[in-house]
Chains A and B, each alone.
Chain A
Amino acid sequence: MAASDALGQFEQVVLTAILALREDAYGVTIHAKAQELAHPKAVSLGAVYVTLDRLEDKGFVSSWLTDPTPERGGRAKRCYRVEALGERALEESAATAKRIFDTIAQVWGKQWARQWGKRWRKETG
């Protein structure tokens, strides 16, 4: 994968949010999901739009406009979908994260991994 095609940390968060939301991925829901994934960091709506724009430029996601709805003041939503290129980039990121975790666990030991797992489960409920 070329350097320009590699995913930044926030791009990973936004791409994962789109993947998780499936058919309901648009500005508001992506922002809410990204905020949940990036917890405890705060995520601004503007940053989500900028990242979506960049991901679309890279060909990782595609978008389309839906029909206008009254709860949005008669305006349409722009829905997003992860494309094959985006799925590949996300897989690569997940594999890298897994390798990093395994290496840390190897160095710091099984005790640390168990404690980390407990803390993770507690944080995510």
Chain B
Amino acid sequence: MRAGPSRVAEIIVALLVPPACREEVTGDLHERYRSPLRYAAEALQTVPLLILSRMRSVTDPQLLLLQAFVFYICFLGADKLNGGAVLRDAWGLVRCAIPAVMALLGLVLADTYSNPAPRPPHPARSPLAGVLIAAASQGLLAIGRPEVAIPRLTLLYGCGMSLLLSSSIRLWFPPFLRPVSPGQWMQQAAEARDKGLSGTAAALAAVGIGILLLLVMAIAAK
């Protein structure tokens, strides 16, 4: 019988490899197996590159910028709704940026690890992962550095608004998740082309949402 990697090692590698390329990559690593050490070295060399490559494939820079803007505005707006205690602080803008950055990181990671086959994931799935990571990071900050964390109610409002707005954006501008088969990929590309959604439309939507949120904040301030 041909020697292969241990079941545990294969499971760990399979969990780290994004699902879109899991099947072929774990198979290739299994086929190239010579020793446990070499298997581990090859997996360590390959997996980070695969994650970065998948991130590049699923991330539209314009859409990402729009999402970042929305997350930040949501946490700023949430603080305003909650009395503006964070923004009165000298580092208030930075403190509000922390959950926004974490939410964006969670969103990108959820997209990287989502499998577009047999059908694209729900539009709220990645935003939900993003706000959960933002909430978890704030929980950790509240334990370790409470002066940097934002108040619980602000976090709750911010996460709620972020989830709502980010999911809406993804309904209008679905992220580019390349499915497994080329036929599906071509179909998705054709559908996107037919809808005529462009970077300009995304930018206009960003400005629109920004104005809307500023209006909400102004009303709430009164």
Judge whether B191 is part of the interface by a CB distance below 8 angstroms.
Answer: no
Judge whether A76 is part of the interface by a CB distance below 8 angstroms.
Answer: yes
Q: Determine the chain B residues whose CB is within 8 A of the CB of A106 once the complex forms.
A: none
In the complex, A102 Cα to B164 Cα: how many Å?
62
Judge whether A49 is part of the interface by a CB distance below 8 angstroms.
Answer: yes
Residue of chain B at shortest CB distance from A72: B27
A49: contacting residue among B10, B23, B25, B181, CB under 8 A: B25
Contact B182 A75 (CB under 8 A): no
Q: Determine the chain B residues whose CB is within 8 A of the CB of A27 once the complex forms.
A: 24-25, 27-28
B49: contacting residue among A49, A56, A78, CB under 8 A: A49
Contact A65 B48 (CB under 8 A): no
Judge whether B125 is part of the interface by a CB distance below 8 angstroms.
Answer: no
Judge whether B32 is part of the interface by a CB distance below 8 angstroms.
Answer: yes
Whether A45 touches B28, Cβ cut-off 8 Å, given contacts A50-B53, A53-B57, is yes
Judge whether A20 is part of the interface by a CB distance below 8 angstroms.
Answer: no
Q: Which of B21-55 contact A (CB under 8 A)?
A: 21, 23-32, 42, 45-50, 52-54
Residue of chain B at shortest CB distance from A51: B53
Judge whether B2 is part of the interface by a CB distance below 8 angstroms.
Answer: yes
In the complex, A93 Cα to B20 Cα: how many Å?
31
Q: Determine the chain B residues whose CB is within 8 A of the CB of A26 once the complex forms.
A: 24, 28
A72: contacting residue among B30, B53, B182, CB under 8 A: B30
A76: contacting residue among B24, B48, B181, CB under 8 A: B24
Q: Determine how close the nearest CB of chain A comes to the CB of B37; give it in whole angstroms.
A: 16
Q: Determine how close the nearest CB of chain B comes to the CB of A22; give it in whole angstroms.
A: 18
Most chain A beta carbons < 10 A, residue from B10, B24, B48: B24
Judge whether A62 is part of the interface by a CB distance below 8 angstroms.
Answer: yes
In the complex, A31 Cα to B50 Cα: how many Å?
15
Judge whether A63 is part of the interface by a CB distance below 8 angstroms.
Answer: yes
Residue of chain A at shortest CB distance from B33: A73
Q: Determine the chain B residues whose CB is within 8 A of the CB of A73 once the complex forms.
A: 4, 10, 26-27, 30
Q: Which residues of A does B touch, CB under 8 Å?
A: 26-28, 31, 44-47, 49-50, 53-54, 56-57, 62-65, 68, 71-73, 75-78
Give me 22 A-to-B residue pairs in the complex whose CB atoms sit less than 8 angstroms apart, sorted by A's number.
A27-B24, A31-B28, A45-B32, A45-B42, A45-B45, A46-B45, A46-B47, A49-B46, A49-B50, A49-B53, A53-B21, A53-B53, A53-B56, A56-B182, A57-B178, A68-B27, A73-B27, A73-B30, A75-B27, A76-B24, A77-B24, A77-B28
Which 6 pairs show the lowest CB-CB distances between chains A and B? A75-B27, A46-B49, A78-B24, A27-B28, A72-B27, A46-B46
